[in-house]
Amino acid sequence: MKLTALDALQIFDSRGHPTIEVIATLEDGTVGRGLVPSGASTGSHEAWELRDRDPRRFQGRSVFKAIGHVTDEIAPALAGHDAFDQAAIDAALIALDGTPNKSRLGANAILGVSLAVAQAAARARCLPLHASLGSGTLLPLPEIQIFGGGKHAQGRIDIQDFMIVALTATSYAETLEVAANVFHAAAEVMRDRGKLAGVADEGGYWPLFDRNEEVFDALLASIERAGYTPGREVGLSLDIAATDLHRDGFYRLGLEGRRFSSEDFAALMIDWVDRYPIVSIEDPMSEDDWEGWRLVRDAIGHRCQLIGDDLFTTHLDRIERGIAAGVANAVLIKLNQIGTVTETLAAIRRTQAAGWLPVVSARSGETEDAFIAHLAVATDAGQLKVGSFSRSERLAKWNEVLRIERDLGPRARFIGAGIFETAGIRLPGATV
Ligand code: 2PG
Ligand code: MG
pLDDT per residue as tens digits for the range 153-163: 999 999 999 99
Residue 429 lies in a domain: no
In the annotation, is 405 catalytic?
A: no
Residues 6+ apart with CB under 8 A from 297: 306, 326, 327, 328, 329
Residue 428 lies in a domain: no
* Rounded Cα gap, residues 35 and 23, in angstroms: 9
Asked if residue 204 and residue 175 are part of one domain, the reply reads yes
pLDDT at 284 over 60: yes
Asked if residue 157 and residue 98 are part of one domain, the reply reads no
* Rounded Cα gap, residues 265 and 269, in angstroms: 6
pLDDT tens digit sequence for 228-265: 999 999 999 999 999 999 999 999 999 999 999 999 99
- Cα-based distances in Å from 165 to 89, 169, 180, 183: 37, 9, 12, 12
- The answer to whether the CB of 376 falls within 8 A of the CB of 383 is yes
Whose CA is closest to atom 4 on ligand 1? 39
Residue 133 lies in a domain: no
Asked if residue 45 and residue 96 are part of one domain, the reply reads yes
pLDDT interval class at 429 (50, 70, 90): low
Residue 131 lies in a domain: no
Q: What is the pLDDT of residue 432?
A: 40
pLDDT tens digit sequence for 162-219: 999 999 999 999 999 999 999 999 999 999 999 999 999 999 999 999 988 899 999 9
Asked if residue 76 and residue 191 are part of one domain, the reply reads no
pLDDT interval class at 428 (50, 70, 90): confident
Q: DSSP of 343-386, one letter per residue?
A: HHHHHHHHHHHTT-EEEEE--SB--S--HHHHHHHHTT--EEE-
- The answer to whether the CB of 128 falls within 8 A of the CB of 406 is no
Asked if residue 145 and residue 118 are part of one domain, the reply reads no
**How far is ligand 1, taken at its centre, from the CA of residue 240, in Å?**
10
Query: Which atom of ligand 1 lies at the shortest distance from residue 37's CA?
Result: 9
What mean pLDDT do residues 290-297 have?
98
Provide the CATH number for the domain around residue 175.
Answer: 3.20.20.120
Residue 110 lies in a domain: yes
Q: Assess whether the C-beta atom of 17 lies below 6 angstroms from ligand 1.
A: no
Asked if residue 208 and residue 169 are part of one domain, the reply reads yes
Picking from 126, 155, 174, the residue at the C-terminal end of a domain is 126
Q: What is the pLDDT of residue 309?
A: 98
Q: Assess whether the C-beta atom of 309 lies below 6 angstroms from ligand 1.
A: yes
Strand order in the sheet with 250-253: 246-247, 250-253, 258-260
Asked if residue 339 and residue 215 are part of one domain, the reply reads yes
Q: What is the pLDDT of residue 213?
A: 84
Asked if residue 203 and residue 326 are part of one domain, the reply reads yes
Q: Which of 202, 233, 282, 366 is catalytic?
A: 202
Q: Assess whether the C-beta atom of 161 lies below 6 angstroms from ligand 1.
A: yes
- Cα-based distances in Å from 54 to 8, 72, 134: 20, 20, 40
Q: What is the pLDDT of residue 212?
A: 85
pLDDT at 318 over 70: yes
**How far is ligand 1, taken at its centre, from the CA of residue 38, in Å?**
9
Count of structural domains within the chain: 2
Asked if residue 93 and residue 43 are part of one domain, the reply reads yes
In the annotation, is 202 catalytic?
A: yes
Asked if residue 250 and residue 305 are part of one domain, the reply reads yes
Query: Which atom of ligand 1 lies at the shortest distance from residue 332's CA?
Result: 6
Q: Assess whether the C-beta atom of 363 lies below 6 angstroms from ligand 1.
A: yes
Q: Is 67 exposed, middle or buried (0-12, 13-18, 19+ CB in 10 A)?
A: buried
Task: Look up the domain containing 39 and give its range.
Answer: 3-126
pLDDT interval class at 151 (50, 70, 90): very high
Provide the CATH number for the domain around residue 45.
Answer: 3.30.390.10
pLDDT interval class at 431 (50, 70, 90): very low
Q: Assess whether the C-beta atom of 39 lies below 6 angstroms from ligand 1.
A: yes
**How far is ligand 2, taken at its centre, from the CA of residue 209, in Å?**
21
Whose CA is closest to atom 3 on ligand 1? 363
Residue 268 lies in a domain: yes
Residue 339 lies in a domain: yes
Q: DSSP of 227-284, one letter per residue?
A: T--BTTTEEEEEE--GGGGEETTEEEEGGGTEEE-HHHHHHHHHHHHHHS-EEEEE-S
Q: Assess whether the C-beta atom of 153 lies below 6 angstroms from ligand 1.
A: no
pLDDT tens digit sequence for 43-102: 999 999 999 999 999 999 999 999 999 999 999 999 999 999 999 999 999 999 999 999
Q: What is the pLDDT of residue 426?
A: 96
Residue 134 lies in a domain: no
Asked if residue 275 and residue 157 are part of one domain, the reply reads yes
To test the pocket of ligand 1, the residue of 108, 152, 311 to mutate (highest count of ligand atoms within 8 Å of its CB) is 152
Asked if residue 374 and residue 304 are part of one domain, the reply reads yes
